[in-house]
A and B are shown apart, each in its own frame.
Chain A
């Protein structure tokens, strides 16, 4: 089996970047990872979704993650007022850039949620994984072990 085909068969690796208010207080953790239900999740808590800059997301994709999902607060709940709106605009911008270089924009997404339990965050990552599974592995990953 070719290296590329083997990698397509692996569970999609989704990096979840979530606002500190996106996770419930009792489960707060700055970073964690988990393989569950056909998705490999690497999660990182941010002080606010607006701290997630365009180069960060592109560098995560460049490093081989299959998708990036941002969990931002609902618009009216953002404690920095326009933080989650900024995150949403950046996601739209990145998706447009990805399209221009021939990558599927589905590799980056955003959800608006508050105080999620870890299982619920994994479910959000799972939905992103389902969106990118038909695309196969991130082309940056293919051939990296050669």
Chain B
């Protein structure tokens, strides 16, 4: 018997502006424990709305969402959010809190003792590979974009969640930082045994980082599966999305000599 999914969406719908905009339309999707799922789609595809439904930043109109076996509507949303790590688009760090203050916020809300939080912050800084001595007391405006996002990841992990939701976490970063951060996070995912759902508009990133990819368009789930399964999908939009990275890879292979500098 297979293990029950850690997150399950069943026929979930959500519309805005009194039903004029159907952001999420009858989506059913399951995420298994320990899995890294990427949801890919263009802007307005409903991918961010779907992610926010999972920790009740938004409430669903129709369908059921279960997290760790419980219907999210039956649990206290504040407690639910403290149990789930969330990485925001451009960090979403509190500008008036130091790095340590930002990372330690959820444990602090949970009422953990200060020494325990402080130790956890040090451990998390190490985990996201930021020098404790250098960055601990800095404020967000004193950090680079990549460093801010590392702090965002550390903050999401602070309450030792099993689930991490990421909303285009690396979208605004330069390619090198983005690649390094993506790899670092994937390593953390494996090391800590996390279940991750990541939103991205970049199919290459999704294929390189995730175990499974779900494709959304106009609020509907168009396809889901491993990259290999996706490539067998009949959907033309999915096909288009997959062709781009493949074509880029082929052209890069031609243009970049294999025995070059890197």
Q: Do A and B bind each other?
A: no
**Which B positions have Cβ atoms within 8 angstroms of A?**
none
